[in-house]
Amino acid sequence: MSEDQLNNNFPNKEEPNVSDAEIKNDGPIYAMPPKFRHGKFRAQSIAPATESKPQEKIKLKLKFININVKFLIIMLGVVIVAGAAIFGFIYWSKNYLNKNRAIVPIDSGAPSQTTSLANPLILTYEIKDETTGQIISRAKIDFPAASLAENNNYQLVKATSLPTDFAGHLVVGGAYQILPNVPSIDKNITISIAYNKDLIDSRWEKFINLGYYKNSIWTTIPEGKLDALTTTISVSVPVIPSDIFALIVDKNKISTANQGEVIIGQQVRSALDSDQDNLTNTEEQLYQTGPSNPDTNGNGILDGDEIAALKNPLSVDQDLANSYLVNLYTNPTWSYSLLYPSSWLIKPMPETDLSQVIVVTNTSEFFEASVEDNPDRLSPKDWYLKQSPGTEADKIHEVTINGQLAVWGPDNLNLFISKNDKIYILTYNLGVETAANFKTTFKMIIKSFKFIIAPISEIAPPVNETTTSPVSEEIFPPPARSDGTLIKYENKEDVYLIEGGKKRPIFSKQIFLQRNFKWEDVIVVPDSEIYQTGDMIY
């Protein structure tokens, strides 16, 4: 068949466009199965005309989310287990390392904390003077093992919100507070507070107690024990009644104890006292005691307290005046006497008619005894305020010295004693020293100060108005009593022995008894019975 014939039969390579009318149904029609229509007779699935249904997409997404949630839960479980393991290791190692470890006391005011309920606990704190930095008080609370019912990291600090002088009590050194609150305890604990001796006076030291503050009042904790060598008061208690406690003393007892005694200023720091016996190391040399033995004669009394009480610290039951440790000075013009260390010197100031006498020490410090006029016979307080009108009256402390009214000046280093129309002044001058070496010695001097006879103006008989002759031996009448007679004037304490026509003053009651005199032999004589004064008996 030629090409033209082929073209005539098939004018286009495409299938011919035949209308439905032209198709004749002359017999059955056979069609090729679909699997044989493409390729080399491979069976292929025919993709549907559209994509996956929406329900199938949602299923796929939920399956993916479900896988992620399971993964996160597994990872979270791993983190929790790992964290618990780490925390458990830290807790175990902390307990292991702290087991049986000693608790280190706190220094310089740093508060302490608990470590374990099973371990003992010691809380300590120190209160210092804000100006000098000197430790004035130290507190300690000793919790034995298993005494704490709970662990609240307790601390011991200074109670700063409280005044130091209120509610009828004086707080010695400062108040302490337990934080965060009052602990419950299952065993007795020990509370101890040590105080600086410069804060107190020995006269009322025995009245100091450990107390607690609650409901705006101070209450004493009974059965406190004082260690005189360390100046520490301790008490064992089964319960802590308050979180604030301190050393306290009743102000009424202070006032009572101050009467007739000596008080030394608190603002002056004392020099070193190695054995805490109230004698500085310098004073130990004066009285031949030692800086490492607080009770030289072993009678249970501190050496310094014996000196202040005019007792010999080297011998039991001997007066200091009868020892070689001190000398007696008698001022014949102004009729007083006092004791001073035998290694020191007394020098009257020139041209003062013995109204100014200096006690020279072995340091730059010195003591002075002087006499001033008091023509209006004012009380020592009124006299002082008249001399120093700018001084506040409440800064003047009134006391009684050997039956005579006296006051301390604001510096507490000057004592003013009145007698008739004179004021007798005892002064402690520090010189160039920054710390006082002789506080106890000053107490001894003041304690021994005594008016041995009345001033000459008091015992002199009336003088004729026409004469200006000074008082002399000729104006004394003949003695009215025989030698060996003991006399005293009415309303006066001094006792005299008539001897050689003169009255000889007896230095003290101890000397009176040592001479075997008897009180029933003393005769009270009128003031008009006048004798010339002889040498003192001591």
CA distance 160 to 168: 19
CA distance 414 to 364: 17
The alpha carbon of residue 495 and the mean position of all alpha carbons in its chain are separated, in whole angstroms, by 47
Whether residue 193 lies inside any domain: the answer is yes
The alpha carbon of residue 177 and the mean position of all alpha carbons in its chain are separated, in whole angstroms, by 13
Whether residue 134 lies inside any domain: the answer is yes
Residue where one domain finishes, among candidates 456, 485, 510: 456
Give the SS3 label for residue 366. strand
The number of folded domains in the chain is: 4
247 backbone dihedrals φ, ψ, rounded to 5°? -85, 130
Do both 382 and 494 map to the same domain? Answer: no
| pLDDT reported for residue 9 | 47
| pLDDT reported for residue 33 | 59
213 backbone dihedrals φ, ψ, rounded to 5°? -110, 125
CATH of the domain at 157: 2.60.220
CATH of the domain at 369: 3.40.1000.10
Whether residue 462 lies inside any domain: the answer is no
CA distance 314 to 312: 5
Do both 425 and 304 map to the same domain? Answer: yes
Q: How many CB atoms neighbour CB 204 within 10 A? A: 20
Do both 343 and 490 map to the same domain? Answer: no
Question: Concatenated DSSP letters for 442-455?
Answer: HHHHHHH-EE-S--
Contact 518, 501 (CB under 8 A): no
Do both 334 and 445 map to the same domain? Answer: yes
Instruction: Pull the structure tokens for residue 470.
Output: 């000074």
| pLDDT reported for residue 42 | 46
Do both 146 and 229 map to the same domain? Answer: yes
Contact 229, 293 (CB under 8 A): no
Do both 477 and 451 map to the same domain? Answer: no
What is the pTM (predicted TM-score) of this model?
0.43
β-strand pairing of 486-489 with 404-408: unpaired
Do both 396 and 307 map to the same domain? Answer: yes
Do both 417 and 484 map to the same domain? Answer: no
Per-residue model confidence as pLDDT tens for the chain (538 residues): 444 544 444 444 444 454 444 444 455 555 555 555 554 444 444 444 444 455 555 555 555 566 666 777 777 777 777 777 776 766 665 555 444 443 333 344 444 444 445 678 889 999 987 777 888 899 999 988 888 877 778 889 998 777 554 557 888 888 999 988 777 888 888 999 998 877 777 667 888 889 888 888 888 887 788 887 788 999 988 888 888 999 988 876 665 555 445 567 667 888 999 988 999 999 999 999 989 999 998 888 899 999 998 999 999 888 898 888 999 999 989 989 999 999 999 999 888 889 999 999 999 999 999 999 999 988 898 999 999 888 888 778 888 777 778 888 888 899 999 988 999 999 999 989 889 999 999 999 998 998 875 433 333 333 333 333 333 333 445 667 888 899 888 767 788 898 888 888 887 777 788 788 888 888 888 877 777 777 778 6
User: Comparing C-alpha atoms, which of 196, 199, 202 is closest to residue 232?
Assistant: 196
Instruction: Pull the structure tokens for residue 241.
Output: 């009644």
Do both 480 and 404 map to the same domain? Answer: no
User: Comparing C-alpha atoms, which of 349, 378, 381, 351 is closest to residue 366?
Assistant: 349
User: What does the CA dihedral 79, 81, 84, 90 come to, rounded to 10 degrees?
Assistant: -90
| pLDDT reported for residue 69 | 66
Residue where one domain finishes, among candidates 431, 456, 481: 456
Beta strands across the sheet bearing 450-451: 326-331, 336-341, 450-451
Whether residue 13 lies inside any domain: the answer is no
Whether residue 480 lies inside any domain: the answer is yes
The alpha carbon of residue 299 and the mean position of all alpha carbons in its chain are separated, in whole angstroms, by 30
Residue where one domain finishes, among candidates 404, 424, 456: 456
416, β-bridge pairs: 407, 425
Contact 494, 488 (CB under 8 A): yes
Whether residue 202 lies inside any domain: the answer is yes
Do both 445 and 480 map to the same domain? Answer: no
424, β-bridge pairs: 371, 417
Cα distance from N-terminal residue to C-terminal residue, the chain? 181
Do both 299 and 414 map to the same domain? Answer: yes
Whether residue 6 lies inside any domain: the answer is no
| pLDDT reported for residue 12 | 47
Residue with tokens 């006498």: 357
Do both 316 and 420 map to the same domain? Answer: yes
Contact 233, 208 (CB under 8 A): yes
Q: Which residues have C-beta within 8 Å of that of residue 71, sequence separation ≥ 6? A: none
Q: Which helix (H) or strand (E) holds 425?
A: strand 422-429
Range of the domain at 387: 283-456
CA distance 494 to 28: 172
The alpha carbon of residue 179 and the mean position of all alpha carbons in its chain are separated, in whole angstroms, by 18
User: What does the CA dihedral 69, 75, 76, 80 come to, rounded to 10 degrees?
Assistant: 160
